[in-house]
Structure 1
């Protein structure tokens, strides 16, 4: 009888403590040759800690690791790389100013003084061709798209002959076509005997690509299951300990008047480039207007201009028909515009400040928080903060701790509590569920729907197409700072259609492709960007422009 092939990786009884708290509590986890083993869990469940132990970033307080049956101890990440472990992080660990081939060899041992550039490039091209990860070895990383950068990160692990690959949220920034290409590469690597650890919150993708699934909750392993035998509803319930609902939100039945409009807006990016190229949009009360696009196509600059954080070159933002020019963020706030930025710890919250200070950050000068001209009534602030923390379910040991100690889900809940507590009239929400588990994601989506139903205008910017199609009443697609099209019925679009638009395919070609495939015509067809203001056609747009010179819009 042939001996059983040992797992590529076997982690037994892994325990890791931080300040006395067990982030990993005696966890067993293994990866076999030729399988995709997915690691699932809420934010803070212990997934990242476990993988950081495997990759040599953390030293375990208990347990051991075996690689192909041999007991190993990784004191540094280099030890793990030498043992054949490669990790592709959600935020790619690449040097933007260097070329693809230079990034490949960074940190490698025993490199000659003069690098054999031709040999390195030839090796990159061989791996690229073998796994369909095509990329220009001579291109600087900063010139590559997000999808191409991910290919470089994968190539880097394969170049270093990794047999065990840890993929952390690998589809978070990819369009559907890139996701399918990535899955094809994963299947090929699995077929060649690689062991792959897949970490994702997207349960449909998990069930598509996985062989086995292990679930962590609060630092402990709940169990390991064959992917073929579970549903996403069951996985979500095991992750969070309760039932989670995945139904799409019903579209709004009655849209209100336009509250915020963007007219021919041109905005520069950080490098002086034109990031937003003449965009026009209108946000109506009682609706969620979604914006789809690959990261770095002008979404950030557009949203910052819409809330006064970034000036514009030309064009304007109008709030209730009033031209705001390059008004300050406080001016937008005073007119009822709330902002939920993508960067929670950099733009949205101040990590060194405590919870009370962060909650009152945008209104400490107003009554009842202000006491006279120079003082803050901290007793009032504490009472207000406590009520919000309870109402929004923020889990924290106290109101006086710095917010950097909170998990990602609790940070997002705290920011929602601050921004939504005053019942804003418009909400600009950028990636509001990015990096959150299914439970926290469900919570955030429910709060946005509540705001819409209350009468707010919600502008939802996301790279999660499932989220956009589930929540949006109208949907636009952005590419290289231009709007590619808009639909009044997002659910009539396929993810393939959206992916093509996100990649820059002209609207006419997308519609032609639908016709050739025999797809049903869109009931609310994608419209050319020039007709965004058209309920009654060009006449309304002309009137808007004419009235806009006076700082008033025709609906004001």
Structure 2
């Protein structure tokens, strides 16, 4: 029997109301007596630390989890959501922090999957294409229905996920860290899209760690700490500092460091690096750069301009059409000689053993085995080195012990090293990867979006780790969509556009707005590399 929920303030009815939601997993209470009220036609932000229970709560609202206690009301009606299909039927759609797309399907096939329009028992591609292009134009998503998802960057994949939700006529949208991969002008466009959605009466639940963005886009805010609601806030009257204190009891950190630790000795140098598609189209075009000991070299660029391919090429994950990669592994790796060595034709494993650390852009696709325990993920990519290796065998006892050390040192919140990686929040997964890569004491750390999806406390801890490693002489190649992070941490800052390094900027002088202009090609590329 349906019950009627409360209405929101100013007589605006509630689109979502959660009463006393509790969700338990073995050894963990993820949500405890959660209360949430979301008015129809608003952007309602949910903020909290990694592991605070935000994603679990949203998965419960989306029908992926069944609450152990509590009540869910949608538009005033009490509902039992047994599956995502039930949630979709109730007008709820979710864009996960890690996308749920099939790489070998086209954009069109991913969007219509499970909701295929048919004609004569077959997929009506013309109708599907018409609807997708209509959505794309209406919300400025810029989608090509016929492109394979595997050929898209992370930002484009996110837009596919949003279109997938809108295609199913969702009235309530759950967006989990939607701006994590976007540059400032893309954030502006997304926020414009959200404003249009809410003007049409749709409701958006917005999960984010970027408190300045939360204050900018949200109509109201709920703060969750360690599994329970600790307060609500009005973004018009609440400061970022106050939100940070509600979340973690600390002020907002800053990445900025201006004391130079750069030494003369190069750690890695790439020259004339070129990567092409099978059809011969350049993805990276004649790129050259050097990272020295104690130097952070930042790479800025709009998603899809070659940053991911550059990282893959340096790590040996993509073949080169031209160019060389020279690395100083300090006497390890192939040949064992001291000094710079040409590693252009080395395997990824040899590069790893030589001292290249790697924090990947997409932790699920390149950084983890989600159905494996944490201790196996700790040794992933390092299984031939201590503490994982004992002769020709894996030393499970040492691997588990070192995983416990990383969990404690990097605040990875999980019951034990035997916990499956899939059970962790995205931020805790990221902290495990950072701990794994930093523990190998690499000569060069390639850090692609190292703080993506982590809360402000973990973000500050990762920044301090990078600063300390830089001071001790580690070279760091930093790729990030967070322009404040790039400007604050980098000693040298390059801009990548259409596969080329088009500008070299001084991080001490450039503003985020100027950097964004170079990234989009709006500025002249003075100082081109």
TM bracket, shorter-chain basis? 0.7 to 0.9
Query: How far is the alpha carbon of 1:317 from its aligned partner?
Result: 1.0
- The residue aligned with 1:74 is 81
- The residue aligned with 2:188 is 180
Q: How does 1:457-472 map to 2 (within 5 A)?
A: 457-472=475-490
Query: How far is the alpha carbon of 1:318 from its aligned partner?
Result: 1.1
- The residue aligned with 1:36 is 43
Q: 1:32 to 1:279 in 2, by over 3 A?
A: same
Q: 2:218 matched to 1:199?
A: no
Contact 1:268 1:301 in 2 (8 A): no
Q: How does 1:280-291 map to 2 (within 5 A)?
A: 280-291=288-299
- The residue aligned with 2:71 is 64
Mind listing any 5+ residue stretches in structure 1 that lack a counterpart?
513-525, 530-556
- The residue aligned with 2:34 is 27
Query: How far is the alpha carbon of 1:210 from its aligned partner?
Result: 0.6
Q: 1:294 to 1:69 in 2, by over 3 A?
A: same
Q: How does 1:326-365 map to 2 (within 5 A)?
A: 326-329=345-348, 331-333=350-352, 335-344=354-363, 347-349=366-368, 359=378
Query: Aligned to 1:495, which of 484, 492, 512?
Result: 512
- The residue aligned with 2:527 is 527
Partner Cα separation in structure 2 for residue 5 and residue 272 of structure 1: 57
> The residue matched to 1:234 in structure 2 has which SS?
helix
Partner Cα separation in structure 2 for residue 145 and residue 338 of structure 1: 22
Q: 2:251 matched to 1:239?
A: no
Q: 1:218 to 1:120 in 2, by over 3 A?
A: same
Q: 1:323 to 1:143 in 2, by over 3 A?
A: closer
- Normalization by structure 1: what TM-score? 0.80
Tell me the matched-pair count: 509
Query: Aligned to 2:465, which of 447, 465, 479?
Result: 447
- The residue aligned with 1:107 is 114
Mind listing any 5+ residue stretches in structure 2 that lack a counterpart?
1-8, 329-339
Q: CA RMSD in A?
A: 3.5
Q: 1:122 to 1:238 in 2, by over 3 A?
A: same
Partner Cα separation in structure 2 for residue 135 and residue 234 of structure 1: 39
The superposition leaves residues 174-205 of structure 1 with CA deviations (integer Å, 9 ceiling, x where unpaired) of 23222111111211222232211111111111
Q: 2:520 matched to 1:510?
A: no
Q: Structure 1 residues 145-154 or 219-228, which shifts more?
A: 145-154
Query: How far is the alpha carbon of 1:227 from its aligned partner?
Result: 0.9
Q: 1:470 to 1:12 in 2, by over 3 A?
A: same
Query: How far is the alpha carbon of 1:325 from its aligned partner?
Result: 2.9
Partner Cα separation in structure 1 for residue 74 and residue 387 of structure 2: 61
Q: How does 1:33-432 map to 2 (within 5 A)?
A: 33-94=40-101, 103-108=110-115, 111-113=118-120, 123-124=131-132, 126-133=134-141, 135-136=143-144, 147-246=155-254, 248-252=256-260, 254-267=262-275, 274-320=282-328, 321-329=340-348, 331-333=350-352, 335-344=354-363, 347-349=366-368, 359=378, 373-374=391-392, 389-399=407-417, 405-421=423-439, 423-432=441-450
- The residue aligned with 2:331 is none
Q: 1:109 to 1:409 in 2, by over 3 A?
A: closer
Query: How far is the alpha carbon of 1:360 from its aligned partner?
Result: 5.8
The superposition leaves residues 246-282 of structure 1 with CA deviations (integer Å, 9 ceiling, x where unpaired) of 3522252654332210111223579986533321110
Contact 1:269 1:301 in 2 (8 A): no
Query: How far is the alpha carbon of 1:4 from its aligned partner?
Result: 3.2
Q: Structure 1 residues 276-285 or 344-353, which shifts more?
A: 344-353
Q: 1:132 to 1:392 in 2, by over 3 A?
A: closer
Partner Cα separation in structure 2 for residue 298 and residue 359 of structure 1: 29
Partner Cα separation in structure 2 for residue 252 and residue 490 of structure 1: 12
Structure (1 or 2) with the larger CA radius of gyration: 1
Q: Structure 1 residues 339-348 or 183-192, which shifts more?
A: 339-348
- Normalization by structure 2: what TM-score? 0.83
Query: How far is the alpha carbon of 1:471 from its aligned partner?
Result: 1.1
> The residue matched to 1:490 in structure 2 has which SS?
coil
Partner Cα separation in structure 2 for residue 270 and residue 364 of structure 1: 32
Contact 1:350 1:358 in 2 (8 A): yes
Query: How far is the alpha carbon of 1:245 from its aligned partner?
Result: 2.1
Query: How far is the alpha carbon of 1:130 from its aligned partner?
Result: 4.5
